Structure 1
Amino acid sequence: MLMSVSHLSKYNNLKCIAKDISFSIHERDKIGLIGLNGTGKSTLLKILAGQEDYKGEIIKKKDIRINYLPQIPSFQPQNTVLEQVYEDVGHDVAEYEIKSILNRFQIINHSQPISQLSGGQKKRVALAIALIKPCDLLLLDEPTNHLDHEMIEYLEKYLTKFNRALVMITHDRYFLERITHRMLELEHGQLYTYEANYSLYLEQKAKREESLQNAQHKRKQFLKKELEWVRAGVQARTTKNKGRLQRYEALSQQADLPVTQNLEMIDTASRLGQKTIELHGISHRFDHLLFQPFDYLFQRNERVGIVGINGSGKSTLLHIIAGQIQPTSGEVEYGETIRIGYFKQGHEDMDDNQRVIDYIQEEARYLKTRQGEFSAKQMCEKFLFDKELQYTPIGRLSGGEKRRLYLLKVLMGAPNVLLLDEPTNDLDITTLQILEDYLDSFQGIIITVSHDRYFLDRLCDTLFVFSHQQIQVHNGGYSDYIITSNQTSSNKPKSSTKKPMRERKVRLTYLEKKELESLEADIPALEQKLQQLDEQLNQVTDFHDIQELSNQRNALENEIETKSIRWLELLEKEEQ
């Protein structure tokens, strides 16, 4: 056992985060920590990392090494990227390993000051640090935020093979499904444990809630009958009557199951006319070309997902459609009825000292919907900001609560075109499910940039795929696109269609013998060349040189892997 948590309690002011909870973490556990925004998931992770105080007892294995990825990293702004990594991981890790994983997360300028990095880049540096440093327990708070699909797939494979304990908070349901085998759910200060991945957790949770509801119903029925008996004026003169009265008192003092409030989405969209948005040959460049001229006519009620690697121009396209920047070439034509709501990454520019209700009333004091007119206060309540929270400074909200508040402000503008830039970041899974249901019935156009594969599959019927400075249109969701891409790759002519070696009971041919001898000489030579490249990487400082050497190293690793697989095939055939 790595860690044992007993009778843990934690309060933030009057808010209960944890009330007398107990659980344990074992070696090679892979745990998903879930719960509604604001329930205290990040706080619990900080407690496990030793960064928050608490009441109770936590017993840790001697000399345990814990790596922690916070939701918002804190770095020294004057450090360069490489200096910051060394400050956090020490100098026991080879420099080429550090540079390799930073490059994997598209942090290629290792001498760039931390102060010049965006929030997303800082999160990727922090993730690289968490993965580089050897540990016994890895704690990750929203690790997929600010990663593109290729990085997420790499991280997924890495964590699947990871042979140490892992506890992570994530809204990525595919991630939870494929990596975790145990779920911890934080709800109303209590912690519920499920020995399951995400899909099995849903089944087990539904059964648990049904069982608790049935038990509560039986208790209330029993109390109703017992109340009639008590009102009949039965005197507690006998031992039997005394015991019955005591049981009644005990059961009547039991609290009812807490009611979980869910986000209430209502139809806020304005009427959308026949003419929508048309892109006429739009293209954009900064210091280099992002994407070539692109034409598209959005259909009424269309749902478009935008995917591609970081830096390919996905958010730039949303900025252009929103009219916040002008394309380098081409133009955007809008219908007269178009009203755009733009839900950007992060929490916009929120004033932490401003009250929640004042932030919403800046957009509108009343909102007309198909269900009637609602005040800003009523809308706040529908978005789970009760009367007390409405007069709370924004700075005291959790990251997920700020994100939810920002979404409400966007919807208060009654848009009929929604531009969503990474809308799933920091939202809990329950809120995501409600948001997805709302977007299904949204009477307007939805254009979203998202790395959440489940969200794209659930919502989108069209994809804009950014690849090699072009935008390709694909009909269908993300999984459909991946299947189509794989089929296209598999249909390409292959250099060999031989059956697997273990199925062919024939001897090595003369050419295969020569190939085997050649491979036995080539592989050690390539490995020596790889070692020389590693030494070069430790000596260079220019990031362009580092990038070039890293690319050479990756190509060399792939060549060694390919030749090693072929060598094993020929060796197996020779043994047969």
Structure 2
Amino acid sequence: MNLVNLQEVSLAYGPLVLLDGVSLGVDEGDRIGVVGRNGGGKSTLVSVLAQTTEPDSGRVIHNRGLRVGFLHQRDSFPDTTVGAYVLGDRAEHEWAGDPRVRDVLRGLLGGWDLGAGMDTLSGGERRRAALARLLTGEHDLIVLDEPTNHLDIEGIAWLADHLNARKEALVVVTHDRWFLDAVTNRTWEVVDGRVERYEGGYAAYVLAKAERERLAAAAEERRQNLMRKELAWLRRGPQARSSKPKFRVDAANALIADVPPLRNTVELVGFASARLGKTVIDLEHVDLRAGDTTLLEDLTWQLGPGDRVGLVGVNGAGKTSLLRLLAAEREADGGRVRRGRTVKLAHLSQNLAELDPGMRPLEAVNEVRQFVTIGKREFTAGQMLERFGFRGDRQWTPIGDLSGGERRRLQLLRLLMDEPNVVLLDEPTNDLDIETLNELEDLLDGWPGSLVVVSHDRYFLERVTDRTLALMGDRTLAFLPGGVDEYLARRARQEGRDTVPGVAASGSDASADDNVSGGAEEASDAAPVVSAAERRAAQKEMQRLERRMDRIGTREEELHALMAEAADDYTRLADLDSELKTLQAEKEELEERWLAEAERIGE
């Protein structure tokens, strides 16, 4: 059954056209993800769909009696209690006996005082309450605008499982690509006033879009060849041109006038990296506190050159505090922190306040560096701003008037123009659209240096980091060979849950725990009892294996470079390829031995 139809819908704000003659529909069972650039019209589209915004022209037709649940990005909140806001006037026995309501309260408001006033909640907590209010209701169509904002990894995984268990049609706007793949089976891309439709979630959308762009590029290449021939024909001298048939001149001018403009993309480029020595940042028996709360106790951990670490953990466990310690923005409450002499550190915090709202983007970048050399070319701050999407007057717009996404991009540009070799990123994906995230990932992919990332964006974490560490709320820092899936499995065990949100059944049996830090962690019931001497020997062996794997990784990079140089020497190329395959096989064996040692000692 068709639920909603948009017929030739158009909407503009001044000269900015967000929707231009859009026609589309939502049927029963549809699970649609909406993607596109910031400011491109995603929120406008879903608000028109939900009939909370009137279009300038066209029709929006809802099926008779359609019940729409719409989560706005900005909601108004009444002066009432959390319980009254979320549950309305339902009696306690009524909502307490409803499994769906109990699931929502447990998943979003676990441990909350339902009698607390809404005015006592933070902005993020109010957002969770608004989502809980919507999900406890009965709807035919659920429309969610950035529902994962202010949710941690566990909350996002729970929400995906909850939505997958519901039968209502779903339309969701989000930049969280893991979430899109988890809950959607169709994708709408809002671009230049149009809505391009794709079958499948985010991964299928990327593949389909790449194929469309390949075909478009082939057509454009043919068009450009024709245009070059016409231009050459036109430019054979004024005398010759005057005798040319008018229809040929008109055709060539039409080709020239119709050349599409450069794509309005954010282009991130590689920056030179200062050399790192053997020591980057070493933490030795460190204690870390926040007020009377001990966040980390007796932590010993090394961040080495080239390490790419994703940091996850329960809210309030100390992820941001640990980043600030690494960045030398706060002192340890015990123990020792050593930093290498060659470390040049940059810290992207969640707080945007360090950007002077009265300054202009060009002034803010010039303050860091006026010129930067990339490859053999030198670029000015203005040219780099253009590459980051600040064109024309946007370079002189006061920072206070920029959107959150623009300020985030400006922060990244300032940070990277300073050519750091250690980068600490605290929720870097906030306010960035998917296209910018793709560009940032591409930059970080080939960036030489040490990287620590705190993020609730599971896709981004798994894309740019090589290993995952977790603060489990027990004063320790744990290494998770199984990544985010293992983190969710551990959290499920901590809370005594049988199921793991966001993890397939086969993935719930995560790898054994592995503490990076000192501090006690409760062992699994099935873990064998090992002596202190056996534990020390196993840890020593694991460190030896890690060093060997690091050396193999360095040699792999050297071999890739040598293979690129020997592209025409097939004998040399075959020898290098043989060595590379041997090293990769050895690395796989070492990884299996490392995991076996970790499992043997129950870490």
TM over 0.5: yes
Aligned-partner SS, 1:297: strand
In structure 1, the residue matched to 2:3 is 2
Note closer, same or farther for the CA distance 1:116–1:378 as it changes in structure 2 (3 Å cut): farther
In structure 2, the residue matched to 1:404 is 409
In structure 2, the residue matched to 1:486 is 510
Confirm whether residue 121 of structure 1 aligns to residue 125 of structure 2.
yes
Residue of 321, 325, 329 corresponding to 1:320 = 325
Aligned-partner SS, 2:38: coil
Note closer, same or farther for the CA distance 1:133–1:114 as it changes in structure 2 (3 Å cut): same
In structure 1, the residue matched to 2:591 is none
Note closer, same or farther for the CA distance 1:247–1:269 as it changes in structure 2 (3 Å cut): closer
Confirm whether residue 430 of structure 1 aligns to residue 435 of structure 2.
yes
Kept after mapping to 2: 8 A contact 1:37/1:401: no
Distance in 2 (alpha carbons) for counterparts of 1:288 and 1:259 = 50
Distance in 1 (alpha carbons) for counterparts of 2:213 and 2:442 = 22
Q: TM-score, normalised by structure 1?
A: 0.73
Residue of 270, 278, 281 corresponding to 2:285 = 281
Note closer, same or farther for the CA distance 1:355–1:12 as it changes in structure 2 (3 Å cut): farther
Distance in 1 (alpha carbons) for counterparts of 2:512 and 2:130 = 36
Residue of 303, 312, 326 corresponding to 1:307 = 312
Confirm whether residue 15 of structure 1 aligns to residue 22 of structure 2.
no
Kept after mapping to 2: 8 A contact 1:272/1:337: yes
Distance in 1 (alpha carbons) for counterparts of 2:62 and 2:82 = 32
Distance in 2 (alpha carbons) for counterparts of 1:8 and 1:92 = 42
Residue of 149, 152, 155 corresponding to 1:148 = 152
Counterpart of 1:104, as a letter, is G
Q: TM-score, normalised by structure 2?
A: 0.70
Note closer, same or farther for the CA distance 1:299–1:145 as it changes in structure 2 (3 Å cut): same
Distance in 2 (alpha carbons) for counterparts of 1:147 and 1:72 = 16
Note closer, same or farther for the CA distance 1:267–1:221 as it changes in structure 2 (3 Å cut): closer
Distance in 1 (alpha carbons) for counterparts of 2:354 and 2:136 = 33
Note closer, same or farther for the CA distance 1:255–1:173 as it changes in structure 2 (3 Å cut): same
In structure 1, the residue matched to 2:108 is 105
Counterpart of 1:321, as a letter, is L
Distance in 2 (alpha carbons) for counterparts of 1:366 and 1:146 = 36
Distance in 2 (alpha carbons) for counterparts of 1:46 and 1:191 = 15
Confirm whether residue 290 of structure 1 aligns to residue 292 of structure 2.
no
In structure 2, the residue matched to 1:474 is 480
Note closer, same or farther for the CA distance 1:121–1:327 as it changes in structure 2 (3 Å cut): farther
Distance in 2 (alpha carbons) for counterparts of 1:376 and 1:245 = 41
Q: CA deviation at 1:29?
A: 0.9
Aligned residues: 483
Note closer, same or farther for the CA distance 1:260–1:92 as it changes in structure 2 (3 Å cut): farther
Kept after mapping to 2: 8 A contact 1:47/1:54: yes
Q: CA deviation at 1:251?
A: 7.3
Counterpart of 1:316, as a letter, is S
Aligned-partner SS, 2:368: coil
Distance in 2 (alpha carbons) for counterparts of 1:39 and 1:283 = 46
Q: CA deviation at 1:267?
A: 0.8
Distance in 1 (alpha carbons) for counterparts of 2:413 and 2:62 = 42
Note closer, same or farther for the CA distance 1:111–1:271 as it changes in structure 2 (3 Å cut): farther
In structure 2, the residue matched to 1:66 is 68
Note closer, same or farther for the CA distance 1:192–1:397 as it changes in structure 2 (3 Å cut): farther
Gaps of 5+ in 1: 495-576
In structure 2, the residue matched to 1:27 is 28
The 5 Å alignment of 1:245-284 reads: 256=260, 259-267=263-271, 269-284=273-288
Note closer, same or farther for the CA distance 1:51–1:460 as it changes in structure 2 (3 Å cut): same
Kept after mapping to 2: 8 A contact 1:322/1:342: yes
Distance in 1 (alpha carbons) for counterparts of 2:432 and 2:397 = 20
Give the percent of matched residue pairs that are identical in Structure 1 and Structure 2.
35
Note closer, same or farther for the CA distance 1:183–1:303 as it changes in structure 2 (3 Å cut): same
Aligned-partner SS, 2:305: coil
In structure 2, the residue matched to 1:382 is 387
- Provide, for residues 206-259 of structure 1, a one-character-per-residue CA deviation record: whole Å limited to 9, x for no partner: 2222233333444555667788699696879xxxx9xx9999898787563763
Aligned-partner SS, 2:189: strand
Aligned-partner SS, 1:2: strand
Confirm whether residue 133 of structure 1 aligns to residue 132 of structure 2.
no
More off after superposition, 119-128 vs 474-483: 474-483
Kept after mapping to 1: 8 A contact 2:314/2:473: no
Kept after mapping to 2: 8 A contact 1:357/1:376: yes
In structure 2, the residue matched to 1:542 is none
Aligned CA RMSD, in angstroms, stands at 3.6
More off after superposition, 12-21 vs 341-350: 341-350
